[in-house]
Structure 1
């Protein structure tokens, strides 16, 4: 499994800024970093990050799975929620 290595002190500093600094407060970023921190605290567990886009999930939609594969390869592709396909 791929691994994400993050310095705990840096992560905690970022969380502190996003929580208490009035110029840096951002609930979305704070919640995202809190999830990353919790995954790190529970280091004995194997994690898998599953990206979703509305109702689309790569495990259940081949088009969305292909789109994510292309993103992983560095392709500049966009997802169209209306059609459930990549934008041309």
Structure 2
């Protein structure tokens, strides 16, 4: 079992509120991968809850399409460091 606490924030004006019916539990089953790596399930849920926003993950272990990733294990390149 996993339990993930996620901090969801916005930049600028506006508030991202998710309908209570669309929210998912913070405890779920997922395959265990690298130490402290977030399960793919978490990324998919965030993408479904917030479909048309810029996304950033701090302390990431790998790249993910559609996200800006920061972490000492992410391959550095211009695109992975750009925040839209």
Q: What is the TM-score of this pair, normalised by structure 2?
A: 0.25
Query: Using CA pairs below 8 Å that are at least 6 residues apart, which structure has the higher relative contact order?
Result: 2
Q: What is the TM-score of this pair, normalised by structure 1?
A: 0.24
